[in-house]
Chain A
Amino acid sequence: MSSYEARFKVWRGDADGGGLEDFKVEVNDGEVVLDIIHRLQATQAPDLAVRWNCKAGKCGSCSAEINGRPRLLCMTRMSVFDREETITVTPLRAFPVVRDLVTDVGFNYTKAREVPAFVPPAGLGPGEYRMMQEDVDRSQEFRKCIECFLCQDTCHVVRDHEENKQAFAGPRFLMRVAELDMHPLDAAADTGLDRKRTAQDEHGLGYCNITKCCTEVCPEGIKITDNALIPLKERAVDRKYDPLVWLGDKIRRRS
């Protein structure tokens, strides 16, 4: 193994427009795409904008699209590409560009605020929570999420349909609803909040037609569709059409 010169195309520009710029750049043993972007900054394009932080796949900052596929720059090794291949790096397509590889991901923070928080159970003080491992496993899987927003970027409901953004929270935040719904001690129901119903009525669960694109791009390997979205759909449907639930709701509403 040795160094070689790779060919890159990197999107440069801002909200007013831009295009792909060609670079030739040195690549060394074991490097990832983010290393190459950093080398471009240090040697050829000091003002090349890129968002990054931990460089270890733990913070989810350096999301971009490499050869059209949503990925983390820090976890994409150069060795997965052919040396002759030209590697194209572009910003996340579903979000507005700020500059170069940096996009405005504010959509996600807006959606995060629309999901009602964990409701602590009344009558249980700090230190009194008891939960079995098998009961927290599922929600823990969803809490592995590093909020890289690759699933939000790739989801076809919003990727090319800006108009759906208003009504659709995206896989990440539907998974957040599922996480809270499956939390063994969440007391939302006691406050009259039905998380399953809101997933359907307020966060746009119905838009999802389980193509599993989100699961495919998840760098944490979370089974978003199978473990969060499909069960949430099933439970939402159960509630909607279960005649007993329907009757119960009627009676409760009257009293």
Chain B
Amino acid sequence: MSVVERQEWDVVVVGAGGAGLRAAIEARERGARTAVICKSLFGKAHTVMAEGGIAAAMANANPHDNWQVHFRDTLRGGKFLNQWRMAELHAQEAPDRVWELETWGALFDRTKDGRISQRNFGGHEYPRLAHVGDRTGLELIRTLQQKIVALQQEDFKETGDYESRLKVFQECTVTRVLKDGGKVSGVFAYERESGRFFVLEAPAVVIATGGIGKSFKVTSNSWEYTGDGHALALLAGAPLLNMEFVQFHPTGMVWPPSVKGILVTESVRGDGGVLRNSDGNRFMFDYIPDVFKEKYAETEDEADRWYEDPDNNRRPPELLPRDEVARAINSEVKEGRGSPHGGVFLDVSTRMPAEVIKRRLPSMYHQFKELADVDITAEAMEVGPTCHYVMGGIAVDSDTAAARGVPGLYAAGEVAGGMHGSNRLGGNSLSDLLVFGRRAGLHAAEYATGAADRPRVDDVQVDAAAAEALRPFSAEAEAQEPAGGPPENPYTLHQELQQTMNDLVGIIRRDAEMKQALEKLAELRVRARRAGVEGHRQFNPGWHLALDLRNMLLVSECVARAALERTESRGGHTREDHPTMDRRWRRINLLCQLTDPTGGLAATDPVRGQIALTRETTEPIRPDLLALFDKEELVKYLAEEELYE
């Protein structure tokens, strides 16, 4: 049956967002022939949605900033669960990654003396985010896209072919990472436009597919975020790390219903916006947790003075890390002090002149005007939490971005785990994907070009992957068999999955609900085997969704199982039945692996499921990094034995 077209490349990058493109640029510049595969058109990746900025301690706005301060902020934000070596590399290398973008043509907003302007953001001690109004992600993706075109122009001059060394396969989906023994040998993919299957043979594969938000009902994520890379890695035998940590961004739109979840940038608060409940109170002052008491203002006066004089005043509590703000909004709404459509009020209209709002927050002005008939220069916005980012992801080596246990597999960006610990600071994702995208591309290229001989692609795996991908077309016929049930509509299954995760494994979690979620996921798994589609393989969205369901179900089970296991509240994981942070959990990472590496969907037992969890104790934080913190602060996070080691 193997008549599937094959091509040979050195490095295949799955995903063309910031991390994927940065990895591809690096791999190509290191001499590897590099292919990029993405589900959307080139330049449309979810990175364009990033609004606020890129966090990098360039010290343009405040001379006191440096990588050590950025590292400290990142660890505080992640509640010390971060893979500290990643956080260190990230803080050290982020400025170089931003400056490099300027040499590729990026145009950031400027300071008065002509350098890159930096803005305030939640959890960052100094103004640190390089930005372009509130469309920084677009600038980032366009710059990387144009750099790729620049490299292709060089290749054209030399070889007469734009795509001789760097090619983008757009609107294609990867469904399997292929292996030769234990090592990566390539990927199996299909063209969304034609439904045609193809195989890219390569010794190194970089996964850069982003997140998992489409498993939740209310989310800021686009349709692409179906956890593909997480699932590809699991199916290839690599573990996922700390999947219980899911960031609910505090401010998503809540009305009208069709736009519920769309992001309202944190820059609104960074630039002076405040949160109020229905009584008109700035409620965030009531929600400053003990670990952050010394860093945040206690009165509105002090908070307001901070924007002008940050050296002598403490920051407003609206700029607490996202997990804190999201929980606070959740509580206000629950206690009946919410806005008419079930959110709270976010107001800039009384804080800044209309002209300034339009200049600094043009997309937000546009978004509310167009989609909700709200003029944010004249009235408050209604906002509430929305599923935004997964901190958990593929377990990687901090320096090389290599996935654990599968030689040739690399991961960078949101799909990789560890960097952000239990909660990511705003602005740290764009810097993360540049820093680790580059590292993944570098090491993948070295591995691929240094390999003695190329791994072989196994025909049996290719045939199995093709059969798996075609299954939804025959689901209806199989449903007639005695053991089967009626055929299922993939859209209905997806909606039920989103509702389940939203309601039962959402922002506030309870033991019984998560158990219920696991049972529901088991039921959906069985029904997903009967997800059938009509029509043909040419640009068929029903078919695409039926295939994506496998990934969403795998990833959702990881989230639910890890969340049930971790009996504490930390960052993006809040347990009503275990409401406080427990220092004993600080050193514990939870790893998810596939129970049945053959990867069938057959496991329907909710207790056993498809995912096995293991606990792992992390390496101690290096002493010179610990020395960056005061002892009194460390006591709040670290277990006794860690403090005295």
Bits for A110-148, please: 1 = Cβ < 8 Å to B, else 0: 001100111010000011011111001001100110110
For residue B491, CB closer than 8 A to chain A, the reply is: yes
Instruction: Check A132/B110 contact, CB under 8 A, given A57-B370, A98-B193.
Output: yes
Interface residue B292 (Cβ < 8 Å from any Cβ of A): no
**Nearest B residue (CB) for A148:** B44
Any B CB within 8 A of the CB of A102: yes
Does B539 interact with chain A (Cβ within 8 Å)?
yes
* Residue numbers in A under 8 Å from B99 (CB-CB): 126-127, 129
Partner of A58, one of B135, B162, B256, B542: B135
Of the listed residues A105, A113, A118, A180, the one surrounded by the most CB atoms of chain B closer than 10 A to its CB is A118
Q: Is A100 an interface residue when CB atoms closer than 8 A count as contact?
A: yes
Q: A113-B152, A139-B107 are in contact. Are A58 and B258 (CB under 8 A)?
A: no
B300 at interface by CB-CB < 8 Å: no
- Judge whether B499 is part of the interface by a CB distance below 8 angstroms: no
Q: How extensive is the interface on chain B, given as a class?
A: 35 or more
**A77 interface residue, CB < 8 Å from B?**
yes
Tell me, yes or no, whether A251 is within 8 Å of chain B by CB.
Answer: no
| Contact string against B for A residues 66-84, beta-carbon threshold 8 Å, 1 for contact and 0 otherwise | 0000000001010000000
CB-CB under 8 A from A132, the residues of chain B are 110, 114
Among the 9-residue stretches A17-25, A48-56, A209-217, A239-247, the one with 4 or more Cβ atoms under 8 Å from chain B is A48-56
Interface check B367, CB cutoff 8 A: yes
A183 to B110, CA, bound (A): 14
The residues of A that contact B255 with a CB separation of less than 8 Å are 30
Q: Determine the residue in chain A with the shortest Cβ distance to B538.
A: A99
Which residue of B is nearest A72, CB measured? B370
The answer on a CB contact under 8 Å between A59 and B48 is yes
Minimum Cβ distance to chain A for residue B50 (Å): 10
A100 / chain B contacts, CB cutoff of 8 Å? 539
Are B49 and A59 in contact, CB atoms less than 8 angstroms apart?
Answer: yes
A-B contacts at CB below 8 angstroms, number: 168
Residues of A in contact with B, size category: 35 or more
> For the complex, what is the distance from the CA of A109 to the CA of B163, rounded to whole Å?
13
CB of A25 to closest CB in B, whole Å: 14
Q: Which of B510-568 contact A (CB under 8 A)?
A: 533-536, 538-543
Given the complex, which residues of B lie within 8 Å of A54, measured CB to CB?
44, 46, 48-49, 222
B608 within 8 A of A: no
A192 beta carbon closer than 8 Å to chain B? no
Q: Let me know if B291 is at the binding interface, CB within 8 A.
A: no
Assess the A131–B44 pair: CB atoms within 8 A. Answer: no
The reply to whether A46 and B541 contact each other, CB–CB distance below 8 Å, is yes
| B595 adjacent to chain A (CB < 8 Å) | no
Whether A57 and B107, one on each chain, are in contact in the complex, defined by CB atoms closer than 8 angstroms, is no
Indicate if the CB atoms of B262 and A56 lie closer than 8 Å: yes
Q: Which residues of A contact B138 (CB under 8 A)?
A: 58, 143-144, 146
Question: What are 13 contact pairs spanning A and B, CB under 8 A?
Answer: A30-B259, A41-B541, A53-B44, A57-B367, A58-B138, A99-B539, A102-B539, A116-B153, A117-B147, A118-B105, A143-B138, A146-B48, A147-B44
Besides the known contacts A57-B370, A116-B153, 15 further A-B residue pairs in the complex with CB atoms under 8 A apart: A41-B542, A42-B492, A46-B491, A46-B535, A47-B542, A56-B263, A56-B371, A58-B48, A58-B135, A100-B539, A118-B146, A133-B109, A144-B135, A144-B138, A147-B44
A interface residues (Cβ-Cβ under 8 A, vs B): 14, 28-32, 35, 41-42, 46-61, 75, 77, 98-100, 102, 105, 109, 112-113, 116-118, 120, 126-127, 129-133, 136, 139-140, 143-144, 146-147, 180, 183, 186
